[in-house]
Amino acid sequence: MSGGGGQTDPAKVGVYICHCGGNISDHVDVRKVEDLAGSLPAVAVARRNSFMCSDPGQEMIVKDIAEGRVNRVVVASCAPALHETTFRGALARAGLNPYLYEHANIREQVSWVHHGPGATGKAARLVAAAVAKAALLEPLEPIRVEATAHATVVGAGPAGLKAALDLARRGIQVVLVEQSPFLGGNLARLDRLFPTGEKASEMVEDLARRALSHELIQVFTCAGIAAAGGYVGNFSLTVVRRPPQTQRDLELLAKARSSGLPPGFIPFAGYLPLEPPSAQEQIDLRTGAVILATGFEHYQPHAGQYGYGQLPQVVTLPELIQIMAGQEPGGPLTVNGRPVKSLALIHCVGSREIPGLHEPPGGRPLNEYCSRVCCTATLQAALEIKERFPETLIYDLHRDIRAYGRGHEDYYLEASRRGVLFLRFAAENPPQIRAQAGGHGEGLVIEMADTLLGGEELELETDLVVLAVGMRPGPAAGLAEMLKLSRGADGFLLEVHPKLRPVEPAVVGVYLAGACQAPMDVGEACAAASAATVKAGGLLSRGYVELAPFVARVDAQACTGCGACVEACLREGALELARPPAVAKALVNPALCLGCGACAAVCEPGAIAVAGWTLPQYEAMVRAMIAGEAGGEQA
């Protein structure tokens, strides 16, 4: 293996071992680890502290650096996610480049999982490996790229509208791109919102009016992103507007015009801000950040699922909400011309599907996740029916009820209090729906085994079955492809880490707002939108962007210009060969580079590497680990 490195000053590594109270030192002989670390040739000092993250602990590092004893630092403590940044900060305070730091994880990966001499031996090996890497570290500088104070929000549902407004309030210019002629997304197709009971239409109108009247927000309806390129701070997007084509849009527009719109709100469609384009037009944008708020689509039951599409008295919950919104109070609830005296609500339709048990036609991927909002939405619908049509008998057929949010449980309690009958079925034995034979018309019979009654077989006669359909990801696949975003097996867009880097996909400068990421309710979607906005705003407001330096770097002297790395590169435009008359050498665009290292793996001369994560560094770690293994046996 090659040595690598190339730093100018000889490495003087300081090793600092944390007791973490007793979390580490109760199981790891920290004195022995200190001695073993101190005996390594690259190590200048090895010390211990009860809490390295405390001020006195950090001061040890600062003092050693300031007094010239060390120029590389290893702290052996908890997981790097907790304190790597803390210790890099200590290096910076002492005037040392913060990237001359390596972390050894001897709590989560040693003292909490191993005990006895084995724990001490492993801690020593991890420290030795970290020292080996530290000795080869080089100073790195954050990558600085200019950023345009302009953001593009894709999708004008509640999350997109909220994101646009939040960004504009920070003084950032916003383009809001919406594929339909209307603003409001799926929110516009709801009636009242839990847990406050406010009207969805009022929220849509309010958000839409404010967005449309804001001087920094430009709205394009009937629009989509046709092409995307560039990188954080400097994305280039091609927006294409097309005349509306779907039957639904054309009907809604005709209805709108007959009511004297635009502008204005059409129930269950959204806010129509202006006449849609009559011919295709293209807008080229230069934008600093992209916020995806592409939302979700309701799951559409397949023909025959619980009788849907075959029995007219089987409807989805979104359909019922729209039907109820159009009904006068007083008489019974009427669906498809039939009065409804009793109905059954069925949960988990198109959600929590189980491999081997659920086999949807057409081989679509299963929706194995819980769609989260449908339980409370179902309970809310049950309560509204009890409120407006109090004589209606309501059965709630569920596998489980997950009224998880703040205030949601009240809906469940209130529904129980008002006499909604809760029946539970097992996933492998779902209710069977059929038309009533004879009798007074097209009533329905539901056969089910109620597990709350020990599996008792029941036959319920109802006038209506309502399917609480789940959520599927919205139309983001093409955009995800263009922007190189990862999607989960379920089709929703992926963030890097739900706690450490929420709403951030791996592509810097792109943010996720709302249900494009997972099923969530309107409140959660707006919270995600605000999170995305804060991150995008923080990024754009300085006029430049600083990126982590962990991207590919080329050793121009070693590079032979063979181009293998360019071929292996996963991100278009991140790597290219210098063009003649310059000598062919690989050139990295650090703003585009993902830092995956696919290039490093194919470079024969080892001329390209991800800064801070180089192959020679890993090889040195392996050598140290093996050497430590031998040492551990002697110990």
Partner 1 sequence: MSSRDLPPILILATEACAYPGANSVGQAHLGYPDNTCIMRVPSPAMFPERFYLECFDRGVGGIIIMSCGVECPYEGAYEVLAKRIDRVYQLMKQRGLSADRLRLTAICTVCNRAFIKEVNQMARVVAELGPPGGERAAA
Could you say which DSSP state residue 419 is in?
A: T
Q: Report how far residue 125's alpha carbon sits from residue 610's, in angstroms, rounded to the nearest whole number.
A: 24
Strand order through the sheet with 217-220: 217-220, 173-177, 150-154, 289-292, 510-512
Peptide bond before residue 56 is cis, with ω within 30 degrees of 0: no
Whose Cβ is closer to partner 1: residue 409's or residue 576's? 576
Q: How many CB atoms lie within 10 A of CB 53?
A: 17
Nearest CB to partner 1, comparing residues 508 and 520: 508
Closest CB 229 distance from partner 1, rounded Å? 15
Residue 573 corresponds to which tokens in the numbers above? 């435009």
Nearer to partner 1, 116 or 339 (CB): 116
Q: What are the backbone dihedrals phi and psi of residue 410, each rounded to the nearest 5 degrees, phi first?
A: -60, -35
Q: Which two tokens stand for residue 553?
A: 């770097």
C-beta of 63 vs 115, nearer to partner 1: 115
- Least Cβ distance, residue 294 to partner 1 (angstroms): 17
**What tokens does 239 get?**
């927006």
- Pair 235, 509: CB distance under 8 Å: yes
Closest separation between CB of residue 546 and partner 1, Å? 18
Smallest distance from partner 1 to CB 1, Å: 6
Give the nearest distance from C-beta 496 to partner 1 in angstroms. Answer: 5
Listed in sequence order, the DSSP H helices in 360-476 are 374-388, 408-417
Considering beta carbons, is residue 18 or 374 the nearer one to partner 1?
18
Q: To the nearest 5 percent, what fractions of the chain are helix, strand and coil?
A: 30, 25, 45
Q: Token pair for residue 533?
A: 């906005």
Provide the minimum distance between the beta carbon of 4 and partner 1 in the complex, in angstroms, as a whole number. 13
The secondary structure of residue 549, as a DSSP letter, is S
CB of 597 to partner 1, least distance (A): 3
CB contact at 8 A, 574 and 601 = no
* Cα dist from 565 to 3, 4, 338, 507, whole Å: 21, 19, 68, 20
Q: Report in angstroms how near the CB of residue 140 gets to partner 1 at its nearest.
A: 14
Total length of the chain? 635
Q: Which two tokens stand for residue 256?
A: 């709108």
For residue 126, the minimal CB distance to partner 1 (Å) is: 7
Would you say 223 or 596 has its CB closer to partner 1?
596
- Nearest CB to partner 1, comparing residues 79 and 587: 79
Q: What angle do CA 632, 33, 36 make, to 5 degrees?
A: 65
Q: Is 211 or 586 the residue whose CB approaches partner 1 more closely?
A: 586
CA angle 518–523–526, rounded 5-degree value: 75
* Nearest to partner 1 of 107, 150 (CB atom): 107
Hey, what are 389's tokens? 């049509």
**What amino acid is encoded at 123 in this protein?**
A
Residues that bind partner 1 (CB under 8 A): 1, 79-81, 105, 107-110, 112-119, 121-122, 125-126, 129, 484-486, 488-489, 494, 496-498, 500, 505-506, 550, 568, 570-571, 594-598, 600-602, 610, 613, 615, 618-619, 621-623, 625-626, 629, 632-633
Of 182 and 235, nearer to partner 1 (C-beta) is 235
Least distance to partner 1, CB of residue 494, Å: 6
| Least distance between partner 1 and beta carbon 315 (Å) | 35
103 or 241: whose CB is closer to partner 1? 103
Q: Which of 159, 280, 285, 270 is nearest to 223 (CA)?
A: 280
3-state secondary structure of 538: helix
